[in-house]
Amino acid sequence: MTLQTRIPSLHRSPTALIAGGAGFIGSHLCDSLLQRGHRVICLDNLFTGSIDNIRPLLNHPHFRFIDHDVREPIEIDDQIERIYSLACPASPRHYQKDPIGTMKTCVLGAINMLELARLKGARILQASTSEVYGDPEVHPQPESYLGNVNPIGPRACYDEGKRAAETLMFDHHRTHGTEIKVARIFNTYGPRMLENDGRVVSNFIVQALRGEPITIYGGGTQTRSFCFVDDLVRGLQLLMESPASVTGPCNLGNPHEVTIETIAREVLTYTESTSPLRFEALPKDDPKRRKPVIDTATRLLGWRPRVALKDGLQATIAYFALRIADETPTLVP
């Protein structure tokens, strides 16, 4: 028997449900939707999210937090117009900790959110990922590229889970006529990433601020293209509110491609840190390069990123500097 959680009705429409709303991207999305007059239901099991991210919202009359695991079905009495399906650990460190759980989160989470969308007649957006392209043999990556994923490697729980979630979205669309939006999100960074998140931008900034060695995996020549979270959140909302005929998949990312060593050096410059670089082993199946083609988003949504890497890094550094200052113990004389 599956566990059914029934939540009593609290609000009238218009309501957006954000699964994964206490996470890095999800919490910024909660802020933005509330500012735009939505009611927001945030569904999260706090696996990699944090109440701190949504604490200022907890007393907001149009905000509700529900502690729930998307691997379990849920019934909610409220009318719901929009579902953002973001619940899933995104950092390799966290999604590889419980790979079977990650695959279930991707697949059962998508099934349960799609079922809710069908019952409510809601439109649903699935947070997919550039990882569906795997270690890409086509560069840069357009949505038409079918990808190069190793289905049995350590990243597969996430990559294949997200591919299956995309499949479920399109099958629900064809079978039930559900209005779907699939966003393929490329590396995104900004305030509210976890200090122990394990992803490159947060790792490098925290290491630089603490004066610890900057851990570069491999030679540092691998590339990524980093999008600031405000740009991404704007793109997600534009995609959600685009005409019903726009289903995606739609790449959302910043096409400014940089090597990992460049990121390390920029972080050192902006933090004025003297941390040394320490080269460590490259994780298995680590993609060599990644850069989105964003013509679809530009043409259909009028979206392109606005925040330059330098400005985004400086905003993120300012966030972590405050957190790290808070955790520094006061010396008692």
Single-letter amino acid code for the residue at 198: G
Interface stretch with ligand NAD, choices 66-74, 168-176, 266-274, 288-296 (CB under 6 A): 66-74
Decide if 68 contacts 22 (C-beta within 8 A): no
203 is a contact residue toward ligand UDP (CB under 6 A): yes
Can you spell out the DSSP letters for 162-189?
Answer: HHHHHHHHHHHHHHH---EEEEEE--EE
Residues 226 to 265: which contact ligand UDP by CB under 6 A?
260
Q: Is 96 exposed, middle or buried (0-12, 13-18, 19+ CB in 10 A)?
A: middle
Can you name the residues that pair with 223 across neighbouring β-strands?
Answer: 259
Beta bridge partners of 250: 183
Q: Measured from the CB of residue 131, what is the shortest distance to ligand NAD in angstroms?
A: 7
From 112, 187, 237, 271, residue interacting with ligand NAD (rule: CB under 6 A): 187
188: contact with ligand NAD by CB under 6 A? yes
Q: Answer with the entry of ligand UDP, ligand NAD, none that 105 interacts with (C-beta below 5 to 8 A by kind).
A: ligand NAD
Tell me which of ligand NAD, ligand UDP, none is bound by residue 69, counting a contact when its beta carbon lies within the kind-specific cut-off of 5 to 8 angstroms. ligand NAD
**Choosing from 95, 158, 217, 270, which is the catalytic residue?**
158
Per DSSP bridges, beta strands 277-280 and 5-7 are unpaired
3-state secondary structure of 138: coil
Between CA 162 and CA 97 the distance in angstroms is: 17
Which of ligand NAD, ligand UDP, none does 161 bind, CB closer than 5 to 8 A by kind?
none
Residue 84 near residue 240 (C-beta atoms within 8 A) = yes
Nearer CB in complex with ligand UDP: 187/296: 187
181 near ligand NAD, rule: CB under 6 A: no
Is residue 158 annotated as part of the catalytic site, yes or no?
A: yes
Tokens linked to 330: 């006061």
Residues lying near ligand NAD in the complex (CB under 6 A) are found at 20, 22-26, 44-49, 69-71, 86-90, 105, 109, 127, 129, 185, 187-188
The residues carrying an active-site annotation are 158
